[in-house]
Chains A and B, each alone.
Chain A
Amino acid sequence: AQSVSQHNHHVILSEAASLELGCNYSYGGTVNLFWYVQYPGQHLQLLLKYFSGDPLVKGIKGFEAEFIKSKFSFNLRKPSVQWSDTAEYFCAVSSSNTGKLIFGQGTTLQVKP
């Protein structure tokens, strides 16, 4: 069965600290990979996506993610977090043949000023 696992459920960082959120997936066939962010009281926003090509993808707000096919991983990184990055982050995998998107459980990031 297809699944997505996010290793960290709750992360607390100070401003300017570096961030890495882990994501592993189990999915047969060609996949599309995504990271979404949900700020408090708001709906989902797409941070970045990977379809093919360069495994290091850059998204909005200084976020980037690296796709490592051999490890079935798609970890999210940011060199220096800000208080405004406080939000919930979701890793997701889709099959391009069905539009079916499977989400991880989410990671709550709290950044202390």
Chain B
Amino acid sequence: NAGVTQTPKFQVLKTGQSMTLQCAQDMNHEYMSWYRQDPGMGLRLIHYSVGAGITDQGEVPNGYNVSRSTTEDFPLRLLSAAPSQTSVYFCASSYSRWGQGLENIQYFGAGTRLSVL
């Protein structure tokens, strides 16, 4: 298994440009999420999905769109990039299982470093 794959690793955009950050997982996980990491603010949840065709907003969804047409892919779209979206973006996938209780196991991608000029 490749795990969670994010592309690209680095990207520079100009203000107003659009782009899509790709995230794919080959573990058949039902849950997928996008986070952004900024200094002093930890990781903040942007959007998440509990299955194909189902998405919901996280803590900081403004300026980002997502869709989940397949279990494997969860792309994050920036329609009109702004300097405030300069950040490191992490995608995660997870599944829940019954162990001692209901356990959710998260797997993270390596991240995409985005700069918006």
Chain B proximity mask over A6-27: 1 for CB below 8 Å, otherwise 0: 1001000000000000000000
* B53 at interface by CB-CB < 8 Å: no
Q: Is the interface of B mostly helix, strand, loop or mixed?
A: strand
Find the A residue at minimum CB distance from B30.
A99
**In chain A, residues 62-94, which have Cβ atoms closer than 8 Å to a Cβ of chain B?**
90, 92, 94
Chain A proximity mask over B73-106: 1 for CB below 8 Å, otherwise 0: 0000000000000000010101110011111101
Question: Are the C-beta atoms of B40 and A9 separated by less than 8 Å?
Answer: yes
* B117 at interface by CB-CB < 8 Å: no
Contact A105:B101 (CB < 8 A) given known A43-B108, A97-B96, A99-B48:
no
Chain B proximity mask over A88-113: 1 for CB below 8 Å, otherwise 0: 00101011111111111110000000
Partner of A100, one of B58, B90, B101, B103: B58
Partner of A53, one of B33, B58, B100: B100
Q: Closest CB-CB distance, B3 to chain A, in whole Å?
A: 12
Question: Are the C-beta atoms of B33 and A96 separated by less than 8 Å?
Answer: no
Please indicate which of the listed interface residues A9, A98, A105 has the most CB atoms of chain B within 10 Å of its own CB: A98
Find the B residue at minimum CB distance from A105.
B42
Contact A102:B41 (CB < 8 A) given known A43-B90, A95-B104:
no
* B43 at interface by CB-CB < 8 Å: yes
Question: Are the C-beta atoms of A94 and B44 separated by less than 8 Å?
Answer: no
Once bound together, how far apart are the Cα atoms of A51 and B31, in whole Å?
Answer: 18
Once bound together, how far apart are the Cα atoms of A97 and B33, in whole Å?
Answer: 14
Question: Are the C-beta atoms of B31 and A104 separated by less than 8 Å?
Answer: no
Find the A residue at minimum CB distance from B106.
A101
Question: Are the C-beta atoms of A99 and B108 separated by less than 8 Å?
Answer: no
A→B interface (CB under 8 Å): 6, 9, 30, 32, 34, 43-44, 46, 51-53, 90, 92, 94-106
Q: A43-B109, A52-B101, A99-B33 are in contact. List 19 more A-B contacts (CB 8 A).
A: A9-B40, A30-B101, A34-B106, A51-B99, A51-B100, A51-B101, A94-B106, A96-B101, A96-B103, A97-B96, A98-B48, A99-B50, A99-B106, A100-B31, A100-B48, A101-B106, A103-B35, A103-B43, A106-B40
